[in-house]
């Protein structure tokens, strides 16, 4: 018989997928009329934008979760939170890739993770444009809609395309050397504008790996669990208060992960 915690996690897993779809439908409705949305810049950063869509989609997810699991904590990109001493914490980015969203690009998603007693146990990333639901539960494998997924089987950086991300939270000097080293090693990269969606694509074997020198928890935790459950390796994102402050994000299969670690170590020498 399953333990109480296993049953509780399973219930939240099913609900997280349902909430992601509901949030995705609302986000897609806003996307179709994005020209009407008022846009603000966060913290004076012209590249870090937020819209009415972000706020209303997050409000919907917060409300749905509070109705079903009122005892759980909630950490959202737009509304904050994450300070209660609850066993379960929901970590949500209502629209990851807002700049892409507002400019009519299809590279954005809804990102939902759940932490239980300090351990990520649920990851859901929903792409409404392609109706693709990437989802995983700790110990249960990773899936794209109903099909199991696995990380890329490549053994060399030359065997696939690397996903990378950056922001103005880090300096160019903390990021550009990695790209140079990757290219010199024979690798290639893309940056789509949605880190969360690229992490899901690593889990699905579409990208060979993903690296970002600083990523927020709501963008990274769902994909981290997806990659782990798809047979890959990730860094310990929650170390050094990663939930509150963010952290480096690195993920790939075991062999590629080691090669990427070497490149990162080279750039700081």
Q: Report the distance separating Cα 256 and Cα 242, nearest Å.
A: 23
pLDDT of residue 81: 63
Closest CA to 189 of 213, 170, 169, 211: 211
pLDDT of residue 42: 53
pLDDT of residue 210: 98
Query: What spatial distance separates the first Cα and last Cα of the chain, rounded to whole Å?
Result: 52
Beta strand spans in 128-240 (E): 132-137, 142-144, 147-148, 161-164, 188-190, 209-215, 233-234
pLDDT of residue 73: 95
Consecutive H or E run containing 7 = helix 4-32
Pairing of strands 161-164, 209-215: parallel
Low-confidence ranges of the chain (pLDDT < 70): 1-4, 41-49, 78-84, 268-269
pLDDT of residue 236: 96
Are 162 and 189 in contact, with CB atoms under 8 Å apart? yes
pTM for the whole structure: 0.93
pLDDT of residue 39: 74
Q: Which CATH architecture has domain 4-148?
A: 2-Layer Sandwich (3.30)
Q: Report the distance separating Cα 37 and Cα 33, nearest Å.
A: 7
Looking at residue 199, what DSSP letter applies?
Answer: H
Q: Which residues are CB-neighbours of 21 under 8 A, at least 6 positions away?
A: 126, 133
Q: Report the distance separating Cα 123 and Cα 154, nearest Å.
A: 24
Top-level CATH class of 157-267? alpha beta
Q: Where are the domains of the chain?
A: 4-148, 157-267
């Amino acid at each position: 018989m399953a333990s109480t915690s296993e049953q509780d996690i399973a219930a939240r897993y099913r609900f997280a997928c349902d909430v992601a779809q509901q949030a995705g439908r609302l986000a897609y409705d806003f996307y179709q009329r994005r020209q009407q949305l008022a846009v603000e810049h966060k913290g004076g950063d012209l590249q870090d934008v937020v819209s009415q869509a972000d706020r209303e989609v997050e409000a919907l997810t917060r409300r749905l979760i509070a109705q079903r699991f009122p005892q759980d904590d909630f950490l959202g990109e737009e509304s904050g939170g994450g300070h209660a001493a609850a066993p379960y914490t929901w970590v949500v980015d209502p629209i990851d890739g807002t700049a892409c969203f507002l400019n009519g690009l299809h590279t954005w998603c809804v990102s939902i993770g759940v932490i239980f007693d300090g351990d990520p146990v649920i990851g859901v990333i929903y792409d409404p444009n392609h109706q693709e639901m990437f989802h995983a539960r700790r110990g249960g494998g990773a899936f794209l809609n109903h099909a199991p997924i696995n990380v890329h089987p490549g053994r060399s950086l030359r065997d696939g395309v690397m996903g990378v991300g950056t922001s103005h939270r880090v300096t160019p000097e903390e990021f550009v050397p990695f790209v140079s080293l990757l290219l010199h090693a024979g690798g290639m990269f893309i940056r789509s504008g949605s880190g969360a969606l690229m992490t899901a694509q690593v889990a699905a074997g579409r990208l060979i790996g993903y690296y970002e020198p600083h990523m927020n928890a709501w963008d990274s935790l769902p994909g981290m669990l997806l990659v782990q459950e798809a047979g890959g390796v990730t860094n310990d994102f929650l170390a050094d208060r990663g939930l509150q402050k963010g952290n480096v994000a690195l993920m790939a299969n075991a062999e590629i992960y080691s090669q990427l670690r070497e490149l990162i170590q080279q750039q700081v020498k």
